[in-house]
Amino acid sequence: GGAVRLNDQPVADERRMVTQADLTADGVVKLSLGKKKHILVRPV
């Protein structure tokens, strides 16, 4: 448990919605799975 992170914060609720409030100052959302798998999502 706790391996999934959104902007480096653990995600406890598997049904959590990603919203505009989750965007970083760069306008992206960072998703992480474990220590090695990371992606940046930029909405268009």
pLDDT tens figures, 1-44: 558 999 999 999 989 999 999 999 999 999 999 999 999 999 99
- Give 37's strand partners: 33
Q: Coil, strand, or helix at residue 22? A: helix
pTM: 0.81
pLDDT at residue 20, as a whole number: 95
pLDDT of residue 40: 97
Sequence ranges of the domains in the chain: 4-35
Distance CA 11, CA 29 (A): 13
pLDDT value of position 42: 96
- State phi, psi for 4 to the nearest 5 degrees: -90, 130
The pLDDT score that the predictor gives to residue 14 is 87
